Amino acid sequence: MFSSACSRLVGSASSLLHYWQPTPEAYAAMGAMYRTDPRQRAMAEKADQALPDWLASAVEAYAVRQLRASRTRP
């Protein structure tokens, strides 16, 4: 299940990045909305109570590991 969730997150990021080229910080801030924005949190909690925190952490990890890394590659 974890690898399936990660695959979906990467797919979602790929779609978004087609239209928006965020800095790692901006992308992580967008993910943090699952924790801080009541509407986003409620939407995610409908699927699973733990989902908002998981999503926020996953988006932050993607921003750090993928977006930041891609900016440092030649």
Q: Please write the tens of the pLDDT for every residue from 22-52.
A: 888 998 999 999 999 999 999 999 999 999 9
In percent, the amount of the chain with pLDDT more than 70 equals: 73
Going by pLDDT thresholds of 50, 70 and 90, the confidence category of residue 15 is confident
For the four alpha carbons of 24, 10, 32 and 20, in that order, the dihedral sign comes to positive
Spatial separation of the C-alpha atoms in residues 3 and 22, rounded to whole Å: 24
Spatial separation of the C-alpha atoms in residues 54 and 40, rounded to whole Å: 13
